[in-house]
Copies of this chain bind each other. A is one copy, B any other.
Amino acid sequence: MKRIMLEIAYDGTNYCGWQIQPNGITVEEVLNKKLSELLKEEIAVIGASRTDSGVHALANVAVFDTNTKIPGDKIKFALNQRLPNDIRIQTSKEVSPQFHPRRCNSRKTYEYYILNRRMDIPLERLYSYFVYMPLDFEKMKEAAVYLVGEHDFMSFCSAGSQVTDTVRTIYVLDLTKENDMIKIHIEGNGFLYNMVRIIVGTLVKVGLGVYPPEHVKEILDARDRMASGPKAPARGLRLVQIAYNKEDVYQTKME
């Protein structure tokens, strides 16, 4: 028995998110089915990030256990042949049997894209949030500074989360603009339910002039979801990277 880790890219447009659920097709479900067919065993992957319906990923992480003789780094080729072309395994490798993608510490990177112009561009519609009203980019950058560091992000957590500890650390929150496209790059040690999308929705309210930048500090202090902005649409969000400590991933092999 060995444990295999996958890095998975997907276009979330046609999926009801990562996690298996009765109402529609999910990425986890497709992976389990195709892996079980390929390896002729019952496979159930454990995912790192249970992305919401419509959210994209360049490298979500999942592990599964298998008795296959196919070398870990070859599994991606065989699996990609069976997967639909909106899901693509980027890497596959054998890892420590103890490695668990949700229980081990990680640094997660997300990007969010906002298209800010008078007219929508069809080629961007699936991967960005189109905002017609002009956004004050400098004010959004100013507001973002208040969110960097360790804070209680309870105001930025959707109802329905079972998490009790809502303190998280944001290492990086960078906004850049190229032509009409605003890119929000965010890295942290973990994110609450819908946290990135609520941060973006709040920054958009600042950009629209509804909140002054410094109001973001008050939103944090309120520790109340009602204080923050709406959650921005899923399609603008992509999970870019999940980085683990090498020791967690390879632990047993190094012994």
Contact = CB atoms under 8 A, between A and B. Distances in A.
Interface string A1-28: 0000000011100000000000000000
Q: Identify whether the interface residues of A are mostly helix, strand, loop, or mixed.
A: mixed
Interface residues of A, number: 22
Specify how many copies of this chain sit in the oligomer.
2
A28 to B, nearest CB: 16
Contact of A9 (B11, B86, B89, B122): B122
A159 B11 CA distance: 36
A58 B117 CA distance: 14
Nearest to A89: B119
Interface in A142-169: none
Interface string A39-56: 000000000000000001
24 contacts: A9-B119, A9-B121, A9-B123, A10-B122, A11-B122, A11-B123, A11-B125, A56-B122, A56-B123, A58-B121, A58-B123, A76-B119, A85-B120, A85-B125, A86-B122, A86-B125, A87-B122, A88-B119, A88-B120, A88-B121, A88-B122, A89-B119, A90-B119, A126-B126
